[in-house]
């Protein structure tokens, strides 16, 4: 069984963010969105096979898994959109960027790695022509003799047929700039592990095929079984850690949602109170204006002194009430501002927790898939070991029978 050890030398070189599209396999004239939003698109170098790949993963699925060959061509169809065809994958990939600068940086890296691949292939071909063995090097993990012979013409033909207008990227492109990969970034590690898993799937062979081809001794099979058990235990431990972290973030997410609802309710109540007080203040102002007008009319008509004194007292009372209402309104407005300031970090934290929870769920799904794969491989290895053990027991029994017959012959 071939494990993912042959991709240990695969390293990320460059990462950017873009919206991924695939050509419609039916019409070949329109684009199908392969990612829900802008995702990481990375260049990887596989030192064991001496080749470069473009990989992009969204959740548990790989939206791009393309090996760079010397015959590939990247075409810039608009300021923020470009495409290239992959004959081995039998599709055309499209990338939509948030700016032309990001697209240009991706094109530069694509051309640089394509040229490096071309020079390496030419060097290997030159060395192969001088070798009597006549071995033809393989430049890709999934290359075949047929696709190798036809890639030079088919890639150009597919690229010419699929030069269509790019999709509308106003709502899909991400504003994030491309960045060099950080070795300590957990997102990079997850992407690296997923790319290694993809490489392992492409280059792997079935356990049955290898057992039939090379019959290992019992000690080697036992060593493989021990290694599979160790990898199985490691996957179970990682899955348990991921599940524990997911539960912790779910609890924190529920707490943040509860706090957010409480703050929103308090903010709505305060806003309703302020609106009511503003209405009362407006009514008091209108009443004050009316009383002022009446007082002026009484002064003009030189009415009774007692009525004028009463009106002055009423006006003084209304002024005090208006001032008190103004103070209350200012305090409530300050409280609303404070509640808004408290609500904003909670919303940001809630978004971050939601994103991290989604990433953890994707990691748990990936861990479960890897665990199931390891269990199936272990079960297959166990069946092989049982078969070898039965064969050994049968041979030992035959040897014992021969030994008894020889003893009988010697005694007689």
Secondary structure of residue 374 in the 3-state scheme:
helix
How many other CB atoms are there within 10 angstroms of residue 315's CB atom? Answer: 15
Burial of residue 54 (number of CB atoms within 10 Å: 0-12, 13-18, 19+): buried
What is the structure's pLDDT at 128? 65
Is the per-residue pLDDT at 14 higher than 50? Answer: yes
Q: Model confidence over 29-65: pLDDT tens digits?
A: 899 999 989 999 999 998 888 889 999 998 888 899 9
Distance CA 386, CA 380 (A): 10
- The conformational region for residue 21 under phi > 0 = left, psi -120 to 50 = alpha, else beta, is beta
What average pLDDT score do residues 368-397 get? Answer: 90
Q: What is the dihedral of CA 378, 384, 390, 391, to 10 degrees?
A: -150
Q: What CA–CA distance (Å, rounded) separates 108 from 115?
A: 11
What's the rounded mean pLDDT across residues 203-207? 38
Mean pLDDT (the chain, rounded): 76
pLDDT-derived band at 149, boundaries 50, 70, 90: very low
For residues 214 and 1, is the Cβ–Cβ distance under 8 A?
Answer: no
* Nearest residue to 162 (alpha-carbon basis) of 30, 73, 72: 30
Q: Is the pLDDT of residue 7 over 50?
A: no
CA distance 405 to 361: 66
Which neighbouring-strand residues pair with 40?
17
Q: Tens digit of pLDDT for each residue in 231-279? A: 787 787 778 877 788 888 888 888 888 888 888 888 888 888 888 888 8
**Residues facing 76 on adjacent strands:** 82
Q: Concatenate the DSSP letters of all residues of 158-199 into one string.
A: HHHHT--PPPP-TTT---PPPBPPPTT-HHHHHHHHHHHHHH
Residue partners of 339: CB distance under 8 A and separation at least 6: 263, 266, 267, 270
pLDDT of res. 84: 94
Average pLDDT over residues 200-218: 39
Q: Are the C-beta atoms of 21 and 77 separated by less than 8 Å?
A: no
Tell me the sheet residues that pair with 66: 54
Cβ atoms within 10 Å, residue 133: 6
| More confident position, 90 or 178 | 90
Whether the per-residue pLDDT at 93 is higher than 90: the answer is yes
Number of DSSP helices (H) and strands (E) in the chain, helices first: 6, 8
Residue 144: per-residue pLDDT? 38
Give the pLDDT of residue 163.
62
Q: Which residue has the higher pLDDT, 259 or 127?
A: 259
State the pLDDT at residue 10.
Answer: 65
pLDDT at 306: 67
Pairwise pLDDT comparison (370 vs 192), residue with the higher score: 370
What's the average model confidence in pLDDT over 71-83? Answer: 93
pLDDT at 89: 85
pLDDT at 211: 35
- 183, 163, 268: which is closest to 13 by C-alpha? 183
pLDDT, residue 302, reads 59
Beta strands in 190-246 (DSSP E): none
Confidence check: pLDDT of 177 > 70: no
Angle, CA 64 vertex, CA 58 and CA 68 arms, to 5°: 150
pLDDT of 21 strictly over 90: yes
Highest mean pLDDT among 90-94, 198-202, 351-355, 374-378 belongs to: 90-94
CA proximity to 69, closest of 119, 7, 124: 119
Predicted pLDDT of residue 219: 45
* pLDDT at residue number 337: 84
CA–CA separation, 261 and 283 (whole Å) = 33
């Amino acid at each position: 069984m071939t494990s993912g050890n042959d991709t240990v030398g695969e390293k990320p070189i460059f990462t950017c963010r873009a919206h991924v599209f695939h050509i419609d396999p039916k019409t070949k004239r329109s684009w199908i969105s392969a990612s829900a939003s802008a995702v990481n698109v990375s260049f990887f170098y596989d030192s064991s096979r001496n080749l470069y790949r473009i990989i992009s993963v969204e959740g548990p699925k790989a939206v791009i898994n393309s090996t760079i060959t010397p015959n590939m061509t990247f075409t810039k169809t608009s300021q923020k959109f470009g495409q290239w065809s992959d004959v081995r994958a039998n599709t055309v990939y499209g990338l939509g960027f948030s700016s032309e600068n990001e697209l240009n940086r991706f094109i530069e890296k694509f051309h640089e790695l394509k040229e490096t691949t071309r020079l390496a292939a030419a060097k290997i071909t030159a060395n192969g022509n001088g070798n009597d063995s006549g071995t033809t090097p393989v430049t890709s993990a999934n290359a075949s003799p047929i696709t190798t012979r036809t890639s030079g013409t088919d890639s150009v033909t597919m690229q010419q047929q699929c030069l269509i207008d790019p999709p509308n990227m106003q709502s899909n492109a991400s504003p994030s700039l491309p960045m060099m990969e950080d070795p300590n970034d957990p997102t990079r590690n997850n992407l690296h592990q997923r790319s290694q898993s993809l490489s392992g799937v492409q280059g792997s062979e079935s356990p049955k095929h290898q057992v039939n081809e090379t019959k290992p001794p019992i000690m080697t099979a036992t060593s493989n079984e021990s290694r599979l058990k160790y990898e199985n235990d490691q996957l179970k431990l990682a899955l348990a850690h991921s599940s524990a972290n997911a539960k912790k973030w779910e609890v924190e997410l529920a707490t943040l949602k509860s706090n957010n609802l409480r703050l929103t309710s308090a903010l709505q109540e305060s806003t309703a109170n302020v609106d009511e007080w503003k209405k009362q203040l407006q009514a008091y102002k209108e009443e004050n204006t009316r009383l002022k007008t009446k007082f002026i009319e009484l002064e003009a008509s030189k009415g009774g002194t007692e009525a004028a004194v009463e009106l002055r007292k009423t006006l003084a009372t209304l002024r005090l009430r208006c001032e008190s209402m103004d103070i209350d309104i200012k305090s409530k407005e300050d409280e609303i501002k404070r509640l808004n300031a408290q609500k904003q970090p909670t919303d940001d934290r809630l978004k971050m927790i939601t994103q991290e929870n989604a990433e953890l769920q994707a990691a748990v799904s990936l861990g479960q898939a890897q665990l199931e794969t390891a269990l199936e491989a272990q079960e297959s290895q166990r069946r092989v070991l049982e078969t070898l053990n039965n064969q050994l027991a049968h041979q030992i029994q035959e040897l014992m029978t021969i030994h008894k017959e020889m003893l009988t012959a010697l005694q007689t």
